[in-house]
Amino acid sequence: MTIAPNSCSRTRKRLLAAVASVAVAGAIGVGALTSGTSPVLADAVRVEAPQVPSFADVVERVSPAVVSVKVKAKVQPTADDGSDDQDGFDNLPNNPQLRRFFKEFRGFGDQGQNDDGPRRFGHRDRGHGEPRPVAQGSGFFISEDGYLVTNNHVVEEGTAFTVVTNDGKELDAKLVGTDPRTDLAVLKVEGGGKFTYVDFADDSKVRVGDWVVAVGNPFGLGGTVTAGIVSARGRDIGAGPYDDFIQIDASVNRGNSGGPTFNLSGQVVGINTAIFSPSGGSVGIAFDIPASTAKQVVEDLMKSGAVQRGWLGVEIQPVTSDIAESLGLKSNNGALVSSAQDDGPGKKSGITAGDVITQVDGKDVASPKELARLIGAYSPGKSVDVTVWRDGKSQSVKVELGKLPSSDKQASADDKPAAPAKADTLADLGLTVTKSENGKGLVVTDVDPDSDAADRGIQPGDVITAVNSTEVNGTDDVTKAMDEAVKSGRKAVLMQITRDDNNRFVALPVAKG
């Protein structure tokens, strides 16, 4: 049978309509359609919009564990005229209303911070009728018996501490311990029954792009929830030797300090500690202390009120590509030892200036920061195997770590050696040098401004003590080391430089031929 074109067209339309009606019925769960070619929805059928992600369940579970932290501190002396010389607004007219406006806008917790870089952001204000200034931050319970975590910079000037729970209860707390190096602190609420608490996550599983939820007390508002994603891992913001921050884009402001950032399982992946902001408000760049760092520090603080870290006793610097080339290293990973302290465990075990530390107990050292974190994670007295690159090969040194001093040792106040009148020239390096008074090393008296030496920061007064790990007492020693480097196929020599009693290494290119 032949089907006329018009009839075929009509049949095709009916078939398409029937298929469409079945698809609609299947999508909304309608089993029967009325007769005819046009689908008609049955009565009382509700079409629901697609489900979208919600953080409500997570927030409902974790909110009871998150608290506001109020810290009372000593009053700073004020000027006789009633104006506050400590508030950072000395150039403003002596107008109380104007000064009050700027104080409230800026927040006392940010005094002295660089507006162009990351800042700590505990919020500090006078409070209404308070005889002493009040700092406000955030925190969270980590045990049912009242231990909670916050930031060191929230509590560091405190004399009394109050915790405000999410249902408005105010509870007194005592300071258990602080760790300024990681900006962590632990408080303990006495009494009050059992508390809802949260656990730390395994932050090694946190990926860039994961959803996170921040809960805290911005501007003293309390119980504020914001959401975002993990923007980056391993951020170094110059806050200290253990920088390894998680960057998030959830809105974080003053008062969020010490507050937790959760994954969607309700576990703490990080602790809010700093933001990057030109204005002091959130611009979507916040930094969290990783849960792995916080967990170990918090455990130590709960046990003894302080953190005991291992100490290697060496000064280190990055391995640049030029330095790696001069030493025959295949990559610029590791930490170059610029000096080993006389009373440090590193020197006692045989580690010397010029060594490149590449591993600790089999764990690769990517940078000086990584070495500091690895060593700091060990307890004093622990023996570790330190792998160093020395004289063109790897060697293993066993070191019994010491206890990290509370502060860096001061350099000695010896004067720089005075330079004798006679000077020699190292033309290929752009340096003019003379022998030091004690006969050890060469004092730089002049630097060609167009030379590689000038580009790498060498300046008059520096003392060249060694080249490629060989002590130098004259220009002949330097020339010999350069010739040997060329014969070995090296493109640079490594100079050990002393300045103000501090050592560092500089790689300088050598001429070919």
Where is 297: in which H helix or E strand?
Answer: helix 291-304
Give the DSSP letter string of 23-62. Answer: HHHHHHT-----SSSS--PPTT--PPPPP----HHHHHHH
Does the pLDDT at position 416 exceed 50? no
- What is the enclosing helix (H) or strand (E) of 10? helix 5-28
Closest CA to 86 of 68, 73, 70: 73
Residue 440's pLDDT is 79
- The most confident of 214-218, 275-279, 325-329, 356-360, by mean pLDDT: 356-360
More confident of the two residues 423 and 373: 373
> With 70 as the cut, is the pLDDT of residue 425 above it?
yes
pLDDT of residue 231: 95
Q: Specify the DSSP class assigned to residue 77.
A: P
When comparing pLDDT for 92 and 328, which is higher? Answer: 328
Q: Please say if the pLDDT value at position 226 is more than 90.
A: yes
Residue that has been written with the tokens 């204005």 in this structure: 279
Work out the widest C-alpha separation in the chain, in whole angstroms.
118
CB of 490 closer than 8 Å to CB of 326: yes
Closest of 404, 402, 393, 312 to residue 351, by C-alpha? 312
Distance CA 364, CA 371 (A): 9
pLDDT at residue 96 in the model: 53
Dist. CA 67–CA 473, nearest whole Å: 64
Closest CA to 122 of 88, 74, 155, 166: 155
Q: Is the pLDDT of residue 475 over 90?
A: no
**Residue 346 identity:** G
Specify which residues 73 forms β-bridges with: 158
- CB count in 10 Å sphere of residue 128: 6
Whole-number Å distance between alpha carbons of 207 and 229: 9
90 or 359: which carries more pLDDT confidence? 359
Model confidence at 410, pLDDT cuts 50, 70, 90, reads very low
Q: How confident is the model at residue 94 (pLDDT cuts 50, 70, 90)?
A: low
Residue 438 has pLDDT above 50, yes or no: yes
pLDDT of residue 511: 64
Give strand ranges (E) for 165-249: 170-179, 184-189, 211-216, 224-235, 245-248
pLDDT over threshold 90, residue 152: yes
For the four alpha carbons of 398, 404, 408 and 414, in that order, the dihedral sign comes to negative
Closest to 371 (Cα-Cα) out of 478, 241, 477:
241
Quote the tokens at residue 119: 């800042």
CA-CA distance, 106 to 374, in Å (whole number)? 38
Question: Does residue 83 carry a pLDDT above 70?
Answer: no
| Complete DSSP assignment for 91-135 | TS-S-HHHHHHHHHHH-GGGTT--TTSEE---EEE--SS-SS-EE
Question: Between 127 and 293, whose confidence is greater?
Answer: 293
Buried residues in 135-160 as b, exposed as e (16+ CB within 10 A)? bbbbbbbbeeebbbbbbbbbbbebee
Distance in angstroms (rounded) separating the CA atoms of residues 400 and 372 = 16
User: For residue 254, what pLDDT is reported?
Assistant: 83
Q: What is the rounded distance in angstroms from the CA atom of residue 243 to the CA atom of residue 358?
A: 19
pLDDT for res 141: 97
Residue 398: the pLDDT is: 95
Q: What is the pLDDT of residue 16?
A: 42
Which active-site residues does the annotation give?
A: 153, 183, 257
- Residue range 372-390, pLDDT digits in tens: 889 988 989 999 999 999 9
Query: Residue 439 has what pLDDT?
Result: 73
Which residues contact residue 26 at a Cβ distance below 8 angstroms, ignoring those fewer than 6 apart? none
Residue 274 pLDDT exceeds 60: yes
What mean pLDDT do residues 401-419 have? 52
Over range 149-160, report the average pLDDT.
92
Tell me which H or E stretch contains 178. strand 170-179
Pick the more confident residue, 37 or 68. Answer: 68
Higher pLDDT, 281 or 11: 281
Percent above pLDDT 90 for the chain: 38
Q: Is the pLDDT of residue 223 over 90?
A: no
